[in-house]
Chain A
Amino acid sequence: MRRPSIRLRLLAGTGVFVTLVLLLANAAIYRSIERTLRKEVRLQLLQSAWLLAKSAELEATGISYEWHVALASSHTQGISGLFEFTDLNTGRKMGSPDLKGEHLPLFYGNLDERVFRNITLADGKKAQAIGLYHHPFLDDEGREEMERAGKILNPEDFPQVVVVARETESLDRRLAEMRGHLAKGAFATLIATWAVIIWVASWSLRPIQELTSRLLKRSTEEESPVPDIPASLPVELNGLAQAFNTALSRAEASRSREREFARHAAHELRTPVAGIQSTLEQAIHRPRSSEDLSERIAAALVLTQGMRNTLNSLMRLARLRGGLEQVSAVSFDPAAILRDQLIANEAKAAQRDLVIDNQVPVSLPALSSDAGLFSVLVINLIENAVRYAPPGTTVQVGAQDTPTSFSFWTRNERGELRAEDRERLFEPFQRGTVAADSEGGHAGLGLSLSREISNLLKGRLEMKFEDERTVTFAVTLPR
């Protein structure tokens, strides 16, 4: 699967964005300049048309085109371009000398209405033109002259059109050049932006590469500490790096627990096998009496039974952890199960000079849960208490019922148990400071099993150090 690239995304994203911005900005600039220049041309055409219209004077003898006078003063008055007068009554045309006998297209609108058109000049060049329909100019002096000549003429009877044109190809060329400059500028800006982005991306991503190489190196040294986050790592990636380190630490803690489990499992399984093998080897090593042989075979059987117990516990733990253990809900008397186990442990308690203080109420309301799993919980905790309590001390076993929960506990002197061992003791194969025995029922799986069972029954198993001397294991199950 192709992975997204930050660098490519930055390049593509900024490329599109910068290109768009540059295109729009350049287009806006170009349009603004083009409008201004074309407006300027129009203004000049309009100005020229007005001045030329004024130069068509009505006299007693008719229309007099004094454009040359106007032209002579055009440096100050702004007549530019080609122009041509047309007398609409006679059709007579009077063009500027630059027309060289050619004519401009005749077009116009209403009186004094300016009409612009793009035209093609006789030499084929593109041009813009204005057509202005007007009446000849008549001032007081002309009117007096007409009166003196006894011939009064009305300007409205002499409709005139002046068409002024200005070639625009040079303007178009300048605009085309400007478009080229703007495009080149935009392209250069885009390239420069991309170069900066590539550099910034590389600069910003370099700490990631550094972190990656640290992590790769770290992956070959499993026991070493999780690598520090490089100081140069961008702050935006700190959270990711922290989360990665946390995940790595958790994974390694889990792996470490797995290794510890495998290490202990190997010990707890291989050692009894070694015991069985050595017992049988010793049995056949030399001729022995049948009684001696029977004793040795019986000892090997005890070891085999112990291994079976350990394997059963391991299998149950595996089923519990794998979610394969089925929980049934039946109604049973929890007090009876607790009492039975206290009786079952009386002999062992007596052997260790322990006093069992039974604080379990004589009767308790029935509990609806898995009676089998509940029994395993009770057996594990009471046997643990009787096994680990220092000799000559008291083991308290109690139970309490509330409308919402049922709980039972064992409390005894903690001996060498330390608060810092709290979590470790719930790991499989933790036996504290007690040596392995041949029965295999105490391979150090009891607390792990009990915790898994408590969780499965939606309850909890807690280990409490309520004072300086005692340790309490309490199971609370929901009602």
Chain B
Amino acid sequence: MRCLIVEDYAPLRGNIEECLREEGFAVDASATGDEGLWYARNHPYDVILLDIMLPNVDGLTILKKLREIQDKTPVMILSARDTVEHRVEGLNAGADDYLVKPFALSELVARVRALLRRSYSHESAVLRIGDMTIDCASKTVSRSGENIPLTRREYSLLEYLAYRAGQAVSRTDIWEHVYEDHSGGSSNAVDVYIGYLRKKLNAGGRADLIHTRRGYGYTLAVEGS
């Protein structure tokens, strides 16, 4: 999952960035409003964390501009403004959540995950595809009750596919939402990680849940469903 942080206070920005990376997110960060708006307009994000008081362009303006162009990316406002009026103003401007500073990073991560679930229409933090269970809170994967250890990148890739289970997901999409850089990526790198995943998930002769859709990409689903 790719996340954009627009926060001018470097220490906080750095900590959120580090925390989300540790949670398996691909993260972009910006210190100013105009740069943040550019990022948001030019890259697909699964969630945007947005401060309000920013240099050059304030957060609410960024939010309004995004909603004007029908960008439905979930946005969480991170603000020191704590009154009901300010929260209402932020939510009315199109924010999906509002978190008042100071906050616990664990709460931030939980809210980000809740936004993602809502965004991908999942009700629970536990995703089930066939005999596979993915616990997004503990970042653990199991098949038929047997735990499958994954690297951070493998887990991120599987989680992204799981959120879009049943859909054909292109390699470009996977690259943009799972990997850190915006270079356009290498389809080979995606294929390599898909290969790693398949190997771990299908160990012991289990059914392959990742299906290659020629010309489209990959779909995570139970065969025939």
Contact = CB atoms under 8 A, between A and B. Distances in A.
A146 B18 CA distance: 159
A434 B10 CA distance: 12
Contacts of B147: none
B12 A274 contact: yes
A282 interface: yes
B80 interface: yes
B105 A271 contact: no
Interface stretch (B68-76, B96-104, B181-189): B96-104
Contacts of A268: 80
A269 B12 CA distance: 13
B19 A285 contact: yes
Nearest to B54: A435
A303 B101 CA distance: 15
A266 B16 contact: no
A273 interface: yes
Chain A interface size, as a band, is 20 to 34
A438 B10 contact: yes
B56 A270 contact: no
Interface in B97-148: 100-106
B22 A285 contact: yes
Interface string A281-299: 1100110000000000001
A431 interface: yes
A278 interface: yes
Contacts of B31: 435
Given A278-B16, A281-B106, A282-B105, A437 B22 contact: no
B55 interface: yes
A436 B15 contact: no
30 contacts: A264-B53, A268-B80, A269-B80, A270-B82, A270-B100, A271-B12, A271-B80, A271-B101, A274-B12, A274-B78, A274-B103, A275-B15, A276-B11, A276-B102, A277-B102, A277-B103, A281-B19, A281-B105, A282-B19, A299-B11, A431-B55, A433-B32, A433-B56, A434-B55, A435-B8, A435-B10, A435-B54, A436-B10, A437-B10, A438-B10
Interface of B: 8-12, 15-16, 18-19, 22, 31-32, 53-56, 78-82, 100-106
Given A264-B53, A278-B11, A435-B9, 4 more contacts: A267-B80, A270-B80, A278-B15, A303-B11
